Every structure is written in structure tokens, then in C-alpha cells.
Amino acid sequence: MLADALKSEAYRLSKNRVAVFCSVLLTPLLFAFGGLFYHIMVKSKGDALAAKANLPAAVGNQPVNLAESFEFAASNGANGVLLVFMLLAAAAVYAGDYRWETWRLISARNGRPWLLLGKIGVMKVLAMIAMLAMLVAAFAFHLSEALVAGRPISFDLSDFELGRFLLLWLLSYIRIVQYGLIALLAAVVSRSLLAALFVPWALGFAQSILGGPLLPLIGWEPSDWAAQLLLPGLAYDSLKAAVAPAGQPLPEGVVLKAIVSLILWSLVPVLAAIAWFQRQDLSKE
């Protein structure tokens, strides 16, 4: 039953070319071409300034290490631009059956929980593909840097730590999936595509404000249970800091609280959405 739901949802999403392009390809393409533009600008401006000041070329001749792309992609996998565009696909997958009035067609063919879990599974696969596309874009970024500046290319893995890379990758992945799960809950409760799009976005924006400058003003410390549990963005940042190579020391217990927070934010929206969906009147679409 779950396999059928996954196959069905994946097939439909594969035909929604706008959603797939925006969620998987747009951000990596923007990043890769933006990087090319940036390197050309740096090169031309740098050369012009150096010529004016009668100095050697501004950009040095050190090799560009393509292996740095791994860590770059892992730690920036859940960047804001990607999250926003991933929400387009999440809204289409989670709220599409309400918008297109197709629940009455599909819900009689499979169990309700399986249908929602199928959607979640498809979004998880999509998030992984988007991150892999970001990895390719990171390679393109470094490659264009080398080609534009005429610098040699190297692939030096001496600073690469597989464990750190995998942890950063996992954290970014969880972050993307969590945004999608908030979209799922918003879609099921509101039956609205716009709510699925904007509720996670608004929640993310509120978290970035509350977890940053406003945190001391509301009397919370980053190590507080309340701060970690209510602000998954803060939990994500705490764990990222813990994994960083030159990691700053974190208050005791923060890592555990952050892990609990991420687990809860991964489970509660799913369970709440399924519970709500089980009792929902699907004739009102």
C-alpha cells in the first residue's frame, strides 16, 4: 500500500515540471551561474584595479580545491533560497489534492495514512535530489572560479572528514524535510496551497528573528529547553556549530536538547497531520 502511494505520488510529481524545476534545479542553477558571474566580476574588477595601481594581478595563482565543494554543499544545503523553492514543490505535493479536488479520486484507492506517508516519502527523495544538485552546483562554482581566474585545479581530500561531511549533510537534509513537514500540516489543516507555501515561510522567518536578536530580549538562553524545543532553527544552528571544525564550545546539554528538538519537529507534524487527515471530510475540497 505504501509502495503504491509512493509510486503514484512520484509519478504525478514527475509530470509537474514547474514544481520539479523550481524545487530541484532553480537554486543550484542560480548558484552556479551566479558564481560564474561573480568570478568574472572579481577577475575583471581585480585586474583593472591591479593595472591601475601597477600591481600584480589581484587574484593569486593558488590551486582551487574542488574537494571543498563537499563541505560547502553539506553545510549550505539548507540555504534560504533552496528552502523557499522547495516549498513550492511541498505545497504542490501536500496541498495539490485539495486544490485540484482529487482526494475523492485517490483516497478510495489506498489507505489515508499510506497516501500521506507516500507524499512525505516523495518529498524526502526530492530533498535529497535537490541537495545533490547543490553539490554539483558547488563543483561548478569552484570550477568556474578556477577557469575564470586561470588558476590550477586540485582535488585535495586531506582536510576532508567524512564523518563531519555526513553529519552536516544529514542536518541540512533534516532541515529541508522539516520545512516540508510544516507545509504538510498547514496543507492538511487549512486545505490551502497558499497556507502550505506561506506558513512554513512565515514560521522560518519568525524563528530566525526569535532565535537571533530577539532571544535575549525574551529572556531565553540558547541552552534553555524552551528555546531549543520551540525554535528548531536554533537547534539546527546549535548542532551545526557542534560539528564545525573549529567549533566554539557549547553550553552543556545543548546538543542533547537540540537533537530532541529536531526529532520532535520531525515526528509531531507527521503524526498531527495523519490524525487530522484520518477524520477529515474529503468531500469538501
Partner 1 sequence: METVIEIQGLTKTYGTVKALDGLTLSIPRGGVYGILGPNGAGKSTLFRTLLGLIRPTEGTATVMGGRIGDPAATRRMGSMIETPRFPPFMTARQVLVWLSHAHGGVPAAEIEAWLTRVGLAEAANRRVRGFSVGMLQRLGVAAALMTKPDLVILDEPTSGMDPPGIQEMRALIRSLADNDGVTVILASHQLQEVQRVCDRVAIFNKGKVITEGRVSDLTASGERLRLSVTPLAKAMALLGDRASLDGDALMAAVPRAEAAAVIRALVEGGVDIDEARWVGADLEDVFMSETGWTGVKSVSVTGASVQGGDYAG
Please state the closest distance from residue 88 (CB atom) to partner 1, in A.
Answer: 14
Task: Give the amino acid at 193.
Answer: L
DSSP 264-276: HHHHHHHHHHHHH
Indicate the residue among 7 and 45 with the shorter CB distance to partner 1.
7
Contact 187, 196 (CB under 8 A): yes
DSSP 38-72: HHHHHHHHHHHHHHHTT-S-SS--PPEETTHHHHH
Cβ neighbours of residue 276 closer than 8 Å, sequence gap 6 or more: 185, 188, 189
Indicate the residue among 45 and 104 with the shorter CB distance to partner 1.
104
Interacting residues with partner 1 (CB under 8 A): 1, 4-5, 7-8, 11-12, 15-18, 96, 100-111, 115, 279, 281-283
Please state the closest distance from residue 192 (CB atom) to partner 1, in A.
Answer: 16
Indicate the residue among 18 and 275 with the shorter CB distance to partner 1.
18
Cβ neighbours of residue 252 closer than 8 Å, sequence gap 6 or more: 223
* CA–CA separation, 117 and 103 (whole Å): 15
Backbone φ and ψ for 106, nearest 5 degrees, come out as -90, -30
Please state the closest distance from residue 263 (CB atom) to partner 1, in A.
Answer: 29
Please state the closest distance from residue 21 (CB atom) to partner 1, in A.
Answer: 12
Indicate the residue among 108 and 162 with the shorter CB distance to partner 1.
108
Backbone φ and ψ for 200, nearest 5 degrees, come out as -65, -35
Contact 227, 215 (CB under 8 A): yes
Contact 59, 5 (CB under 8 A): no
Please state the closest distance from residue 198 (CB atom) to partner 1, in A.
Answer: 21
Indicate the residue among 6 and 235 with the shorter CB distance to partner 1.
6
Please state the closest distance from residue 18 (CB atom) to partner 1, in A.
Answer: 8
* CA–CA separation, 191 and 170 (whole Å): 30
